[in-house]
Amino acid sequence: MERTAAATAPLNGAGADYEITVHFAGGLVGCADWEHFDIVTDAELSPLYLINCQDDPSIGFIGADPTVFKPDFCLQLSPEDEEQLGYPEFSDLLVLAIITPASSLGSAAEPTTSATINLLGPLVINLKRGIGRQVIQSEYTAHHSVGG
């Protein structure tokens, strides 16, 4: 199945205060302990999202709709992915790619000019069910330039 992530665009609209708790069964890829995340955005953050790990509060990410940085990004879900996500409707999906700041320390004082976004392993979330999965998109890079 092919789906463009652009369908999540309405959720990225300015002023969309937004918070949802999402369960990633089995955790993120290679990070099995990180299963529960709060995903937050608001007018100030948009189009960025804070992705805060409940299981380990010291763990958290910044994410964005991949189409913000790669307009032709196209998500592919395997039958297995769809099953794990509870067979979501197109309109129920939120797709977030994780941004890696230039420095892993992510100091606010340091401009993050060489930040990248991970298109290889986006988080796909069924908003209706509150379940998510990190799906591997082998045709994309883990270090897509964020620009700036």
CA distance 66 to 62: 12
Subset of residues 112 to 131 that bind other proteins, contact rule: CB under 8 A:
112-113, 115, 118, 120-121
Specify the stretch interacting with other proteins by CB under 8 A; choose among 22-30, 86-94, 124-132.
22-30
The nearest distance, CB 101 to other proteins, in angstroms, is 6
Candidate list 33, 55, 83, 89; residue touching other proteins; CB under 8 A: 83
Q: Which is nearer to other proteins, 122 or 127 (CB)?
A: 122
CA distance 2 to 22: 23
Phi-psi group of 147: left, alpha or beta (phi > 0 → left; psi -120 to 50 → alpha; rest → beta): left
The nearest distance, CB 65 to other proteins, in angstroms, is 9
Subset of residues 24 to 53 that bind other proteins, contact rule: CB under 8 A:
28-31, 34, 43-48, 50, 52
The nearest distance, CB 83 to other proteins, in angstroms, is 6
Asked if 13 and 122 touch (Cβ cutoff 8 Å), the reply is: no
Pair type for strands 116-126 and 93-100? antiparallel
CA distance 91 to 46: 19
Asked if 115 and 148 touch (Cβ cutoff 8 Å), the reply is: yes
The nearest distance, CB 57 to other proteins, in angstroms, is 6
CA distance 104 to 129: 32
What is the SS3 assignment for 9? helix
- State the residues that interact with other proteins by CB under 8 A: 12-15, 28-31, 34, 43-48, 50, 52, 57-62, 64, 68-69, 79-80, 83-84, 98-101, 104-108, 110-113, 115, 118, 120-121, 134, 136, 138, 142-143, 146-148
